[in-house]
Amino acid sequence: MRLPRLASRLTLAALALLPSAALAEDTQQNRCGSDYLTPDQAIARSEWARRCGLLRNTAGASSWYSSGAAFDTSFGPVKEYRELTTSRAYTGNAHHYNVNYYHARSLYEATPLFSVFQETSGSTAGYWKWSHTVPRVRALYPTFESTGVAGSGTQLFPHPTNTNDCRLYSTPNGTGLWQTVTQRYVCDGEYPSLREPEIGKDNCYFVTETTERPFYVVAYCESGCYAPDQRLLFSDGEATVQEAAREGREDLMTLGPDATLDDLKLQRNTVSSYTTDARDSEHVLYEVSTETGGLLRVTNEHPVVTSEGRLVKAETLVAGDELLRVDGTPERIVEVRKTTHYGKVFNVRPVSRDAVSNVLVAQGYLVGSARFQNEDVEHINRLLLQRAIPAEVLPE
C-alpha cells in the first residue's frame, strides 16, 4: 500500500545504534568485513551458534519458556531458551540472549509467525526449534569479540572445519585457542606452601587447568549492496563503486541535510568507508529498469528513494512504481528482474550521520547509503527506526 505524498519534505528513515551510535556502526562493518562468510557458511555459522548456545549455556532441553517475541502457527507464544552466562554467549544481548530468536531472525525473512517443533535427532534432539518457509536471500551470522563493544578487544572465530568444537579462536584458521592456561602444584589435595615442592615427594603433583576467556557477539553480519558496475556520483562526475573503492575516493556527492523534494540540494560529502566481500560468491540482485532506459542493479534489501520521498527496499519495487531522479523528477519503473551475480558486491557510507545527507546518487537515482540497513538488521543489531514527519503535513 502506497502512502500519500508528503508535501515537499523528504521523509527518510534515521537509524541510531544503542548505546554508542557514533562509533559502533562503522566498527561493526569492519568486523563483518574481516569475518566475511558465503551464504552457505553464514547458515552454518548460525546453526553452530544455536547448537553451542543450547548445549553449553542453557539448563537443558526442558528449560524453555514461553516468549512473546514471536508466535507459533496456532498463534501461541513460541518456546524459547535463554543463555545463562552472558560473558560467554553465542547470541546477542539486544534480545536477552534468546537463542531461537536470533537463529530464526538470522535465517528467515521478517515474520512474527514460525513453525515450532521439537527436534528428534542430532546433538540438540529434544530442544524446540523455530522454522519458516521463506529463507533470507542472504543469511545473517554472528561475529565475536573478546569484549562486548565492537572494536575494543580481540576478534574471535569458530574453528573453520570442526563444527563440533564450540570454542573460539583468535585467528580464522583455528589457531590461538581463546582460553587461559594455569599451572600449579597440589600436595595431598591441598595447595602447597610458597616454596615449590619437589615432584614425587610428599604426594605432590602438577596440575594444569584451562578456562575459557569471555567472548561476546558484537554484530550480525550481511554483505554489501551494489553490483560492482553501478555508477555513483562524485564531485567530478560518475565512477563505478568498484573503481571508487579501489582508488579510495572520498569526494562523494550526497543530498544536503536540508534538502526537500522541491529543492534537492546536493553537497560534497566525505566517504567514511567502503565495504565489500572478502571472497567472490553468488549474490541475488534486483535489476530495476525505467521507462527512459535507466538501470539499477542492487541487492534485494538495498534502500531506494521513491518519487514520494520514501525509502524502500529494492525487492519491494514493482512495475509502475516511480524512482526519484537527482533533479527531482519521477521516473516510472517498467520492469524489476531478479538475477544472480557471482563475484563481490560493494557498499559505501559517508561521514555524515543525519538521514537526508546519507542519500546519494546511483545511476542518476537517489538511493540510501550503507548507513541505512534493512529492518531486520537494524532490529537484530539494536537499531531504532525513527521517522521525521514535518509538522505541516500532520493533521490539525
Residue 381: its pLDDT value, please? 41
- What CATH number does the domain located at 13-19+224-393 have? 2.170.16.10
Q: What is the mean pLDDT of each run of 10 residues along the chain (396 residues)?
A: 33 30 55 73 94 97 95 94 96 91 89 94 97 83 90 92 94 90 68 51 69 90 78 93 90 90 89 75 86 89 84 89 92 93 83 85 90 49 34 40
| Residue 217 one-letter amino acid | V
In this predicted structure, what is the pLDDT of residue 190?
A: 59
User: How far is it, in rounded angstroms, from Cα 313 to Cα 283?
Assistant: 16
Residue 192 grid coordinates: 602447597
| Residue reference for cell 531478479 | 338
User: Is residue 175 within 8 Å of 158, Cβ to Cβ?
Assistant: no
Residues 6 or more apart from 39 whose CB is under 8 A from it? 138, 139, 281, 282
> Rounded to the nearest 5°, which phi and psi values hold at 282?
-85, 130
All CATH 2.170.16.10 domain ranges of the chain, comma separated, are 13-19+224-393
Q: pLDDT tens digits for 281-336?
A: 777 889 999 999 999 998 877 888 888 888 888 888 999 999 999 998 999 999 99
Give per-residue pLDDT as tens, 32-75: 767 777 777 889 999 999 999 999 999 999 999 999 899 999 99
42 within 8 A of 140, measured Cβ to Cβ: yes
Has this prediction a pTM greater than 0.75? no
**247-265 in b/e burial notation, b at 16+ Cβ within 10 A?**
eebeebbbbbeebbbeebe
Q: What is the pLDDT of residue 143?
A: 92
**The pLDDT of residue 12:** 36
Burial of 217 (0-12, 13-18, 19+ CB in 10 A): buried
Helix (H) / strand (E) containing 217: strand 216-221
